[in-house]
Amino acid sequence: MSRQAIGLIVVLLLFVGLLVVRAGIGKGMGRVYSERESVAMVQVEIPILDVVEGEAKGTVGTESVWVPAASDDAVDFASADSPRVEWETTTPIKPGTYFQDPSNAAFELDWPRTIGIWVAALFTLAIFSFLYKDNAIYKIAESVVVGVSAGYAMVIGFWDMLVPNLLGKLVPMFVQTHFIPGMTDTSVNWLYIIPAVFGILLLMRLAPKGQWLSLWALAFIVGTTAAIRMVGYIEGDFLSQINATVMPIYQVVEGANGSVDVYSTIWASIRQFILLIGVLACLTYFFFSVEHKGVVGGVARVGIWFLMITFGAAFGFTVMGRIALLAARFEFLFDDWLWLIDPTNQRTIPDAVAVLGM
């Protein structure tokens, strides 16, 4: 067996050993507790208190509403054959809450979520292993993320885009009956035939001779993009940036007593001047018609220096943010999985009652 393989096995055994040790010490690690609750809803007819338009004199309208089975309305109006639906929910609770009252029948170890924490931790370590080098564990994690994310995007695209925006506009009654009961607008919007048609044309790619029809859909999309972006960028970026740059170079800075602060005014004016020069120099850099030689070359050089400073500033700005992301991952591993740190007091037993002494 090669040295590398032996080294890897040793590391793995060490890792597993440490995990076993951690699991044995104190309260253990990597568990999620939840509270099991049963939700029961019953459908009742409750009277509408206010007058409804068009109702006959002396009658009181009723509306059909689903209410929790333990609510006052259910007590008053539910009968033995009122429709009833029940299901169970598990809500995660802090481990500290469980430790305080382990004999509570509603509290239990949540196996799916506990397994989930371990899966998430192992996936996290698998991705980090790529920093050392490409390996089988990373490849497994990569395959999982590709498969899951592709499926996830498609599911969300179906339920959040196609169902409300396409089916909900073309067959609203069907969608309201089954998927979005709270939908109020149930009239057919015929304008949405357009994307339906173009979508089908796009899918003609799959037909052996239908590829040319899919170009119509692409043409529609690219035409929409070009038009919307052209106006959007000229209005939002082009004109607004020019607008912001049109400022007088002479920038007056007033001191606390209203008199002009000469020193600050000079510096503010110099800064405004440098800003204008910078914009013009950078624009010269982007010039395509003239080679960067001679005077133009000199100005373009100044322009690229401005650009480099711009890029450096953006670079420096993002470093902290990226480190914060890494810190968040470490917090997940050390807090939620290994139970080695507890910054948000998830596992401390609340002893406020003891403190109050009442």
Taking CB under 8 A as the criterion, which residues in 104-163 touch another protein? 112-113, 115-117, 119-121, 123-124, 127-128, 130-131, 134, 138-159, 161-162
Q: For another protein, which residue of 19, 23, 108, 305 counts as binding (CB under 8 A)? A: 305
Rounded CA separation 168/102 (Å): 48
To the nearest whole angstrom, how small is the minimum distance from the Cβ of residue 110 to another protein? 10
The reply on whether position 210 binds another protein by CB under 8 A is: no
Nearer residue to another protein within complex by CB, 277 or 349: 277
For the CB of residue 156, give the shortest distance to another protein in the complex, in Å.
8
Cβ at position 149, least distance to another protein in Å = 3
Q: Please identify, using beta-carbon distances, which residue of 23 and 196 lies nearer to another protein.
A: 196
**Which tokens belong to 164?**
């409300």
Backbone angles phi, psi at 85, to 5 degrees: -130, 135
If one asks whether residue 294 binds another protein (CB under 8 A), the answer comes out as: no
DSSP string for 325-340 = HHHHHHHIIIIIIS--
Nearer to another protein, 282 or 339 (CB): 282
Write down how long the chain is: 358
Looking at 10, 16, 173, 308, which residue binds another protein (CB under 8 A)?
A: 308
Q: Is residue 166 close enough to count as binding another protein by CB under 8 A?
A: yes
Contact 64, 83 (CB under 8 A): no
Nearer Cβ to another protein (123/334): 123
Question: Using CA atoms, how far apart are residues 143 and 135, in angstroms rounded to an integer?
Answer: 12
Residue spans of alpha helices (H) in the chain: 3-24, 72-77, 95-100, 111-128, 136-156, 168-170, 172-178, 193-203, 211-233, 240-245, 262-285, 294-331, 352-356
How many chain residues touch another protein (CB under 8 A)?
A: 161
Closer to another protein by CB, 149 or 348: give it.
Answer: 149
Q: Does 37 bind another protein (CB under 8 A)?
A: no
* Binding positions for another protein, 223-282, rule CB under 8 A: 223-231, 233-235, 237-252, 263, 267, 271, 274-282
Which pair of structure tokens corresponds to residue 69? 């089975």
* C-beta of 50 vs 81, nearer to another protein: 50
Cα distance between residue 276 and residue 246, in whole Å = 9
Of residues 167 through 196, those in contact with another protein by CB under 8 A are 177-182, 191-192, 194-196
**Which of 106, 94, 105 has its CA nearest to residue 33?**
94
CA distance 131 to 138: 10
Instruction: Give yes or no for residue 63 binding another protein (CB under 8 A).
Output: no
Cα atoms in the 13 Å half-sphere on the side-chain side of 89:
5
206 binds another protein (CB under 8 A): yes
Q: Which of residues 333-352 bind another protein (CB under 8 A)?
A: none
Give me the residues paired with residue 91 across strands: 35
